[in-house]
Amino acid sequence: MKPYLLLLFIGFYLVNCSQGSKQKGDFVIIHTDFGDMKAKLYDSTPKHKANFLKLVKEGYYDDLLFHRVIKQFMIQGGDPESRTSHEGLPLGQGGPGYTIEPEIGKFHFKGALSAARLGDQVNPGKLSSGSQFFIVDGQKCDSRQVDMMGTSKGMKYSPEDYKRYETLGGTPFLDGDYTVFGEVVEGLDVIDKITAQPCDQANRPNKNIRMTIKIVN
């Protein structure tokens, strides 16, 4: 093999290895009683990504519940107290004992993986829960609706963003207030199946819906 061909082959190999290593830990599988969702985690939210992967590796989310489910809004989980909670009891206050600095910027399209948090009245800094998250269901919105809900808070949308809200749907009224740190890339239908389940007055499903989360490369 000629030297320059050998160098070309080595360069190609190193580039591909580099690309492969960059993708490691970018994806997780959220297994539920209604199917699996594959989610991509964003590099643009490094604090949230690192924390989520750390908890997943520890098995923190295994057997926790989606304890709050609202059709055309979202499904929420990650409360460690839900692992042993009896059906019908209120949930949503548990966590690992710390919060995360906000990394706000991504939008709440359907399938967005976003960090839950306490309200502005007690949390003006918009600090994220250390473990609780929600996955957006939402509704389809035209550009006028998106502008009314998002641009009033200084959000700027591209033509592609408007189109995505119109065709896929989401919750643009949350944009600028919560940290979106990933998105479901496979299994959006699982969200529909979960939001179709009957819930009590506190929006907890009448029948427990458990999760297990694993990292995939």
Look up the CATH number of the domain holding residue 175. Answer: 2.40.100.10
- Per the structure, the complete domain to which residue 88 belongs is given by 25-216
Count of domains forming the chain: 1
Distance CA 137, CA 160 (A): 19
Q: What's the pLDDT at 8?
A: 41
Residue 4 covered by a domain: no
* Residue-level length of the chain: 217
CB-neighbour burial class of residue 208 (10 A; exposed 0-12, middle 13-18, buried 19+): middle
Residue 127 covered by a domain: yes
How far from chain centre, in Å, is Cα 49? 10
Q: What's the pLDDT at 61?
A: 98
Beta-bridge partners for 90: none
Residue 146 covered by a domain: yes
Q: Which residue has the tokens 């819906």?
A: 209
Q: What's the pLDDT at 13?
A: 41
Residue 155 covered by a domain: yes
**Digits of tens for pLDDT over the chain (217 positions)?**
444 444 444 444 444 444 444 455 699 999 999 999 999 999 999 999 999 999 999 999 999 999 999 999 999 999 999 988 877 777 878 899 999 999 999 999 999 999 999 999 999 999 999 999 999 999 999 999 998 887 778 888 999 999 999 999 999 999 999 999 999 999 999 999 999 999 999 999 999 999 999 999 7
Residue 17 covered by a domain: no
How far from chain centre, in Å, is Cα 209? 17
Query: Dihedral through CA 18, CA 24, CA 27, CA 30, nearest 10?
Result: 160
Q: What's the pLDDT at 86?
A: 77
Q: What's the pLDDT at 84?
A: 86
Q: What's the pLDDT at 24?
A: 53
| CB half-sphere exposure, 19, CA atoms < 13 A | 6
Residue 11 covered by a domain: no
Tokens of 57: 């590796």
Contact between 119 and 92 (Cβ < 8 Å): no
Complete DSSP assignment for 158-196: -HHHHHHHHHT-B-GGGTTTS-EEEEEEE-HHHHHHHHT
Q: What's the pLDDT at 217?
A: 74
Residue 199 covered by a domain: yes
Residue 135 covered by a domain: yes
